[in-house]
Amino acid sequence: MGGLAPNEHTRDLLDASLALAQTQLIGQLTDETSLDGRTTGTLGFNGALLAVDVAARSLLGPYWWAPLIALGLATLCCLGPALAVGSSFTRNADLGPPANAFYRIYVGQSSACAREQLLDDLDTAFLNNARRVRAKQRALLAAILILAVGLIASTVPIGLA
C-alpha cells in the first residue's frame, strides 16, 4: 500500500474515485450538449434545404418534391431529442444527489460512508444519462444517414426528368 495506513489508503482511493466519477459526469454532460447542438444544426440545415428545394422547384422539374421525403424523415428523427419528445428524451440530466440533501443525510456518519454513497450515486447518475445520450446519438446518426441517402437517391428521378 505504499506506506499508507489502511484508512489513508481508503480515503485516497475514494477521493480519486470521486474525482474520476465527477470528471466522467462532466464529460458526459458536455458530450450531450454537443449532441444537442449538432441536432439543432441538422434541423437548421434541413430548413435551409427545404427553402432551397421550394425556391428551385421550377429548375428541378416535376420531381422537385423528392428531396422533401428525406428532409421530412430526417427532421422527424431530430425532433425527438430537440423537443424532448419520447421516453428516451424526456428526462433531464441526472447530476447526482442534491448537495444540501446529501449533506443533511450523511452529516452524522463517517466521511468514508458518505463518500462511498456519493460514488454510488454518481455512478447511477452516469448510467441514467448514458441511456439518454445513446438515444440522442442514434437519433442524430439516423437523421444524417437518412438525409444523405435520401438526397442522393432523390437525384435519380430529378436527373431523369
pLDDT per residue, tens digit, the chain (161 aa), is: 444 555 788 888 899 999 999 999 999 999 999 999 999 999 999 999 999 999 999 999 999 999 999 999 999 999 999 888 877 787 788 999 999 999 999 998 888 899 999 999 999 999 999 999 999 999 999 999 999 999 999 999 988 87
Domain-wise residue ranges, the chain: 17-160
d(CA 86, CA 12): 42
For cell 427532421, name the residue. Answer: 75
d(CA 132, CA 125): 11
d(CA 40, CA 79): 9
d(CA 144, CA 138): 10
DSSP the chain: -TT--HHHHHHHHHHHHHHHHHHHHHHHHHHHHHHHHHHHHHHHHHHHHHHHHHHTHHHH-TTTTHHHHHHHHHHHHHHHHHHT-STTTSSPP---S-HHHHHHHHTTS-HHHHHHHHHHHHHHHHHHHHHHHHHHHHHHHHHHHHHHHHHHHHHHHHHH-
**Distances, alpha carbon 130 to alpha carbons 69, 93, 123, 134, in Å:** 31, 10, 10, 6
